[in-house]
């Protein structure tokens, strides 16, 4: 039953977000991993729904982008939020994952290259000498 619910949730999410939303693309990748693994596990010798969902959850989390670089961190957050809102992962687990994302965002924000770029954008174009 959970399998059918996940498919309908995924379809509903697709209609609610714009096609240019990179978070949606990341969620789609994670959901494909979940659905594919769930289907493969369901084909095994009469597994329970719990076993299929557990395998799907593991695949989903493996497909979540790494916490490196601003775009990946944003996509990570989108995937974890989606998984939490659809009960693929517990809210407690999501809180831990999102705490890690906050730390990763903090390192990006404090990266010297990021600070230089931000200062350049604030001051406008470089003045010619």
At residue 19, the pLDDT reads 44
What's the mean per-residue pLDDT of the chain? 82
Regarding pTM above 0.85, the answer is no
Cα 77 → chain centroid: 5
Average pLDDT for 98-106: 95
Q: Is the pLDDT of residue 125 over 80?
A: no
At residue 53, the pLDDT reads 95
Average pLDDT for 59-87: 96
What Cα–Cα distance (Å) separates residue 103 from each residue in 10, 38, 98, 100? 29, 31, 9, 5
Q: Is the pLDDT of residue 70 over 80?
A: yes
Q: What is the pLDDT of residues 43-61, one digit of tens each?
A: 988 999 999 999 999 999 9
Average pLDDT for 100-123: 79
């Amino acid at each position: 039953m959970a399998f059918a619910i996940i498919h309908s949730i995924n379809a509903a999410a697709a209609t609610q977000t714009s096609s240019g939303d990179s978070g949606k693309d990341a969620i789609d990748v994670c959901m494909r991993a979940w659905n594919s693994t769930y289907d493969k596990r369901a084909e095994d010798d009469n597994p329970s729904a719990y076993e299929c969902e557990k395998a799907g959850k593991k695949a989903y989390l493996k497909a979540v982008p790494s916490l490196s670089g601003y775009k990946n961190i944003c996509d990570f957050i989108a995937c974890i939020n989606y998984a939490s809102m659809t009960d693929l992962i517990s809210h407690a687990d999501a809180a831990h994952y999102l705490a890690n994302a906050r730390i990763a965002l903090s390192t990006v924000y404090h990266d010297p290259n990021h600070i230089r770029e931000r200062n350049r954008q604030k001051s406008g174009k470089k003045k010619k000498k």
